[in-house]
C-alpha cells in the first residue's frame, strides 16, 4: 500500500513540475498495483483521470470525456472523488473547445471540498477557478479566487502552494 501511495504522490509532484511523462509513468504504476491486487478501486479511477490530465498537458489529446465521467461515478471515497472532479475541471479547462464546461466541474469540486471540510482541495479548486476566470478575461474574479485560495492555503500551512498562488496572482493583469 505504501508503494501505491508513493506512486500517487510522486505522480503529483512530477505533474506540478510540468514533467508530465514522469507523472503519467507513476500514475500507470499505481493503477497496475491497484488492479493487480484488486483494491482501492476509487484510487485506481482517480489515478486514471490524473493520468489523462497529464496526457492532455503532454499534448496527447485523444481523450474520451464520457469514459472519465463514468470513472468519476464509480469513485466512492470523497477525497478521491474530489480530486478526480478537480482534475476533470482542469482537463476541460485545457481543451479550448471545452473551457466553458470546465466551470461546472470546478464549482462542483469547490462545493464538495467545502461540504466535506477538505480545505486543501478547496484551495486548489479555488486556484483552478481563478485560472478559469483568467482564461476568460475576467481579471477581477480571477484575483478574488486567487486571494481565496491563498487564504485557505495559508490556513492549511501549505507554504509552497501559497508562494505559487501568490506568483499566479501577481501575473494577473
User: Do 85 and 145 sit in the same domain of this protein?
Assistant: no
CA atoms of 95 and 30, how far apart (whole Å): 26
User: Do 2 and 69 sit in the same domain of this protein?
Assistant: yes
State which of 82, 99, 117 marks the end of a domain.
Answer: 117
Q: Is the pLDDT of residue 64 over 90?
A: no
User: Do 37 and 101 sit in the same domain of this protein?
Assistant: yes
Residue 76: predicted pLDDT: 85
CA atoms of 142 and 61, how far apart (whole Å): 27
What cell does 69 get? 465521467
Contacts of 95 (CB under 8 A, 6+ apart): 56, 61, 63
Number of domain units in the chain? 2
User: Do 89 and 63 sit in the same domain of this protein?
Assistant: yes
User: Do 142 and 161 sit in the same domain of this protein?
Assistant: yes
Number of Cβ within 10 Å of residue 109's Cβ equals 28
Secondary structure (DSSP) of 126-165: HHHHHHHHHHTT-HHHHHHHHHHHHHHHHHHT-HHHHHHH
Residue 69: predicted pLDDT: 85
Q: Which of 98, 167, 79, 85 is nearest to 130 (CA)?
A: 167
User: Do 107 and 156 sit in the same domain of this protein?
Assistant: no
CA atoms of 150 and 104, how far apart (whole Å): 22
CA atoms of 130 and 149, how far apart (whole Å): 9
Number of Cβ within 10 Å of residue 173's Cβ equals 5
CA atoms of 71 and 38, how far apart (whole Å): 16
Helix (H, G, I), strand (E, B) or coil at 61: coil
Q: Is the pLDDT of residue 61 over 70?
A: no
Q: Is the pLDDT of residue 21 over 70?
A: yes
Question: What confidence tens digit (pLDDT) does each residue in 130-163 have?
Answer: 999 999 999 999 999 999 999 999 999 999 999 9
Q: Is the pLDDT of residue 20 over 80?
A: yes
State which of 92, 117, 142 marks the end of a domain.
Answer: 117
User: Do 70 and 43 sit in the same domain of this protein?
Assistant: yes
- With beta carbons less than 8 A apart as the criterion, state whether 148 and 126 touch: yes
State which of 71, 88, 117 marks the end of a domain.
Answer: 117
User: Do 88 and 12 sit in the same domain of this protein?
Assistant: yes
Question: What confidence tens digit (pLDDT) does each residue in 65-123 have?
Answer: 888 888 888 888 888 899 889 989 998 998 888 889 999 999 999 999 999 999 999 99
User: Do 111 and 139 sit in the same domain of this protein?
Assistant: no
Question: What confidence tens digit (pLDDT) does each residue in 162-172 have?
Answer: 999 999 999 99
User: Do 44 and 72 sit in the same domain of this protein?
Assistant: yes
User: Do 71 and 150 sit in the same domain of this protein?
Assistant: no
| Residue-range definition of the domain harbouring residue 155 | 119-173
User: Do 106 and 145 sit in the same domain of this protein?
Assistant: no
Amino acid at each position: 500500500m505504501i508503494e501505491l501511495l508513493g506512486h500517487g504522490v510522486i505522480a503529483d509532484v512530477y505533474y506540478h513540475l510540468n514533467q508530465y511523462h514522469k507523472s503519467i509513468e507513476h500514475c500507470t504504476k499505481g493503477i497496475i498495483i491497484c488492479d493487480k491486487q484488486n483494491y482501492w478501486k476509487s484510487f485506481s479511477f482517480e489515478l486514471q483521470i490524473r493520468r489523462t490530465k497529464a496526457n492532455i498537458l503532454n499534448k496527447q489529446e485523444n481523450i474520451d470525456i464520457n469514459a472519465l465521467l463514468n470513472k468519476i461515478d464509480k469513485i466512492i471515497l470523497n477525497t478521491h472523488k474530489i480530486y478526480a472532479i478537480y482534475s476533470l475541471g482542469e482537463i476541460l479547462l485545457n481543451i479550448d473547445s471545452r473551457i466553458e464546461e470546465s466551470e461546472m466541474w470546478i464549482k462542483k469540486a469547490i462545493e464538495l471540498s467545502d461540504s466535506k471540510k477538505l480545505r486543501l482541495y478547496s484551495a486548489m479548486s479555488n486556484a483552478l477557478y481563478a485560472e478559469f476566470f483568467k482564461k476568460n478575461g475576467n481579471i477581477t474574479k480571477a484575483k478574488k479566487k486567487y486571494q481565496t485560495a491563498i487564504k485557505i492555503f495559508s490556513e492549511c500551512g501549505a507554504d509552497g502552494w501559497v508562494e505559487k498562488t501568490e506568483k499566479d496572482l501577481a501575473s494577473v493583469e
